[in-house]
Amino acid sequence: MSKIDLAIRGGTVVTASDTFRADVGIADGRICLIADEVKGAAREIDARGLLVMPGGIDSHVHIAQPSGPGIVMADDFASATAAAAAGGNTLVMPFALQQRGQSLRGAVEAYRTKAEGECHVDASFHLIVSDPTPAVLGQELPALVKDGYTSFKVFMTYDDLVLDDRQLLEVFDLARRERALVMVHCEGYDAIRFMTERLERSGRTEPYGHALSRPEIVEREAAHRAISHAELVDLPMMIVHVSGREAMEQIRWAQRRGLKVLAETCPQYITLTADDLKGLDMEGAKYVCSPPPRDAESQKAIWEGIVQGVFQTFSSDHCPFRYEAADGKLNPKARSSFRWVPNGIPGVETRLPVLFSEGVSKGRISLQRFVELSATNHAKIYGLYPRKGSIGIGFDADIALWDPNRKETIRQEILHHGADYTPWEGFEVTGWPVMTLVRGEVVMEEGRIVGAKGHGGILQREVGSYAN
């Protein structure tokens, strides 16, 4: 056997199928041995009392994305991936956003330039298609899929991003031909505009108006429309950031009819509610994201969907803005209407502790389901399996060591992201990641980011098994 660089000894290995006591041997950044005892390694990590789990894969994060005039995202690639590592993640999947009039290839190159040499964990880009011109559909997208950009997001709302039904169908049709996976933001543009203008006319301009302007009906209608379009062209599709019962039931209905509809949900939909947007003065702006968090009954529905397998992935939808900042939540126009409050919340660092604590520690889901939702399914769906997403011979040694009994209180002061607040301030969790290794290198130890940035690489992907 070749030389073993590192052994993780005495821990309990958890995969999407099993939990077992074993040592893990690593050579050249990959897992080379799983055995009762791994001896003779150049270095050892003592994992007694800890869970040895696949590093988290967060397949939905926004980093350094243009977000409107005068607005700046709180994270660059260095800070977002440091936060990811601190939260037990080894890979993030941000978006390369095409602005209208811009070539998609140009957008991708610009994001790669921002990310290269900056990342603490691996990264792999999805595309956002906002301008599906004949050149984009005919040449750019097929070429980009072949180059390993095998998934893209489309929006059913937002002035700068919305695609109409015909455009959605054209993109879906192209994705089917190229076997790419489309992620869909399901909220109806016209209904939101109608509600927003009505609320503004009646003076409901505070942050809570954001939740009132896009109720569950708006998400349900768009989810049903997207499902119908995907059925028409026989396309596997991922509905992202599902917030409550209405959309979840549309997806479950589609899945029961045998349609290839996948779904994602996020921490905000099991822990926050629209009432959080009612915070005094402008405090509610800290929770403005889309779709908005709903209510306790919606949280129950999301758990139902998690337990029943309606959801395959649990991502953060990390989309961070500073609160006390003129380029963030409290920009000069934000007080005049919720529509000017930048849309999104930070969460890449807290996603896994929230799911572990609310899910595993409270007995709602098994460790196996946790690993599926947090890592394995992301790798399978987005074309990184069997390289990423599990602990097995030949996989990249992307590993998080967890103390399942450690109690922590989430606080801004212990986090690494670029935002100046966390929506989970004061949230108590049981279970905490204490070490993260990316391809066999320790990148986080006890909350400290160790090692140089630039260890994280930018990965191209295969077509995922679902799109296939």
Residues that bind ligand DUC (CB under 6 A): 62, 185, 241, 290, 317, 319, 343-344
**Token pair of 225 as six digits:** 């429309």
CB of 261 to ligand DUC, least distance (A): 18
In the complex, the residues that contact Zn ion under the rule CB under 5 A are 185, 317
For ligand DUC, which is the closer residue by CB, 62 or 380? 62
**Token pair of 164 as six digits:** 């109409």
CB of 340 to ligand DUC, least distance (A): 14
For ligand DUC, which is the closer residue by CB, 290 or 350? 290
- Indicate which of Zn ion, ligand DUC, none lies near residue 376 (CB less than 5 to 8 Å, by partner kind): none
CB of 264 to ligand DUC, least distance (A): 10
CB of 271 to ligand DUC, least distance (A): 17
Rounded to an integer, what is the distance from CA 290 to the centroid of its chain?
14
- Indicate which of Zn ion, ligand DUC, none lies near residue 383 (CB less than 5 to 8 Å, by partner kind): none
Return the residue matching tokens 């301009």.
Answer: 205
- Indicate which of Zn ion, ligand DUC, none lies near residue 337 (CB less than 5 to 8 Å, by partner kind): none
Q: What backbone phi and psi angles, to 5 degrees, belong to 109?
A: -65, -40
Q: How far is CA 210 from CA 66, 171, 289, 434, in A?
A: 21, 29, 8, 37
For ligand DUC, which is the closer residue by CB, 16 or 345? 345
DSSP collapsed to 3 states, 326-375: CCCCCCCCCCCCHHHCCCCECCCCCHHHHHHHHHHHCCCCCHHHHHHHHH
Return the residue matching tokens 């959801």.
Answer: 311
CB of 290 to ligand DUC, least distance (A): 4
- Indicate which of Zn ion, ligand DUC, none lies near residue 120 (CB less than 5 to 8 Å, by partner kind): none
Q: Going edge to edge, which strands form the sheet with 12-14?
A: 19-21, 12-14, 51-54, 399-409, 428-438, 441-445, 448-449
Q: How far apart are CA 155 and CA 159, in angstroms?
A: 10
- Indicate which of Zn ion, ligand DUC, none lies near residue 343 (CB less than 5 to 8 Å, by partner kind): ligand DUC
Please say whether the beta carbons of 91 and 129 come within 8 A.
no
For ligand DUC, which is the closer residue by CB, 93 or 319? 319
For ligand DUC, which is the closer residue by CB, 241 or 329? 241
For Zn ion, which is the closer residue by CB, 5 or 317? 317
CB of 153 to ligand DUC, least distance (A): 7
